[in-house]
Amino acid sequence: METIRIKGLEIFAYHGVNPEEKENGQRFVLDLAMTADLSRAAQSDDLRDTVNYAAVRKAVTAAFTAQKYDLIERAAQVVCDAVLDGFPQVAAVMVELKKPEAPMNAVFDYVSVEMTRCRA
């Protein structure tokens, strides 16, 4: 098994418990790691034999912005579901969802949740 990563994917969305988060939105940053057997692609040099990371980015963005969620835990689950449902080659996906502008009265880099889901 090999890993394809997308790191630092910025998506503007409207997730959060506070009303202003759902109204004004904010920037989120996602890191994804997808485990798949890429041995065929390594031999064929054919896009059809791998996980198309451009298509993954589109699917993740669509799923992440389709609804407004209170919790980043729910938003991360939706991203995992989108990857596993849309890309049958992916055996497991890890998502770290970062919220750098979380409404806390403190100096911090970001708040995040990391979630790993595997194909049943």
Record the tokens describing residue 83, joined without a space. 């990857």
Catalytic residue among 22, 58, 98, 99: 99
Phi and psi for 59 in degrees, rounded to 5?
Answer: -65, -40
What is the 3 state secondary structure string of 51-100? Answer: CCHHHHHHHHHHHHHCCCCCCHHHHHHHHHHHHHHHCCCEEEEEEEEEEC
Residue 99 bears catalytic tag = yes
36 near 97, Cβ under 8 Å?
A: no
Q: What share of the chain is helix, strand, coil (3-state, %, to 5)?
A: 35, 35, 30
Active-site residues, by number, are 99
